[in-house]
Structure 1
Amino acid sequence: MAGGASDKIDYVFKVVLIGDSAVGKSQILARFARNEFALDSKATIGVEFQTRTLVIQHKSVKAQIWDTAGQERYRAVTSAYYRGAVGAMLVYDITRSQTFDHIPRWLEELRSHADRNIMIMLVGNKTDLKDQRAVTTEAALEFAQKENLFFLETSALEATNVENAFQTLLAEIFNIVNKKNLTSEPQNSNGTSTLPGKKIIMPGPAQEIPKNKACCMSS
């Protein structure tokens, strides 16, 4: 998969970033969308989103990445933004064990509000602070395998695995979409498949990810 822009967008995939406040969701988004990192980043208020267009198997895919605020008081506001998402990243901070402890709650919320077949990746951020690590890679991998999630550890600061995380998730979504017969897929006025939630992903339990796909972890 390579990055690139195109006049014609073949697919639009909505991906949400969720997790506790200050785990680095906005920095992960900035690194992927603009290859930027802001040392003075402020907490996200409500919801923000950015886009980036990629080429996957000769098709132009626009990724709409939504950054949902992690503060408790915004959770009711942001719940509506799960609607239509085909991918999600559950982000925790490897140096703060409580952010990992809260992942099951975020996963439950995600599965309550999003399509049941949404593709999900568990992301342990801030590997640049490995000397302060509080969450082991093994514990996160075990959880990812149990819940059938993809798993990666990243550093938005050092740009480690951020690209890989998004490309892995988007490529998997694309591969599932590509396996389906989309000839009857409704299109919007400019001919782009909007692919809202329940119309895209392979139905039912068949979309469980094998445990050996909970991979791609950093060393």
Structure 2
Amino acid sequence: MGGRPAATVAAGRESHEGQTRAAVVQLLLEEGPITAPEIGERLGLSAAGVRRHLDALIEAGEAQAAAPPRRQGRGRGRPARRFQLTAVGRARLGHSYDDLATAAMRHLRELGGDAAIEDFARRRVESILSGVQPAEPGTEGDAEDIESMAEEIAAAFTASGFAASARRVGTGVQICQHHCPVSHVAEQFPELCEAEQEAFVRILGTHVQRLATIANGDAFCTTHVPVLPPPGVPQREPPP
């Protein structure tokens, strides 16, 4: 009995490569910046396999090595390189009807001015977060409550295509949106991003700080939410 035709084998190999490449892209989207060993561990790939996919994505302009953190530890050796998607890589994931949406937003501004755009942006984010209950009065700043609500916010945005996550970082919680399906529109209409931040403040009942946005060219949107220490735990005084 003869083996499978060479063309069939090649097609199967290309299909598998494509699926693996898509998995690498998805991991860069949701977890990036991420190291090559971490990619290999998560996807069960060899170091050579990870390097092959990363090199192809970098050559296509879809991925890049992330800038190292400004504050490095004093340990020996270089920190591991971390990789993330570029704006080109995110665009390949699809931004449906960008031109149509932008044209509609411009027409809306012509008809109703800035107030109409702001109202639309506010209604849009309220729709995304309609299932998230605002903080109860008197619980503002409580670490556990804020972290729980931040996770609910992230889940709501993920359901709307933003690939969002929430995690404790230092003295606060960070909400990260690893993908933005409306980033191209938000580049021209920052009211969309501003409405999101206002909604976070309303729901969490505390001040938040936007650290980065995809619309401004960053790798992902990051919002920092400060939290108070548990009762009885003194706050550290800032260094003189």
Q: Please, what TM-score do these two structures have when normalized by structure 1?
A: 0.27
Q: Comparing both chains, which one has the higher relative contact order based on Cα–Cα distances under 8 Å and sequence gaps of 6 or more?
A: 1
Greater CA radius of gyration, 1 or 2?
2
Is the strand fraction higher in 1 or 2? 1
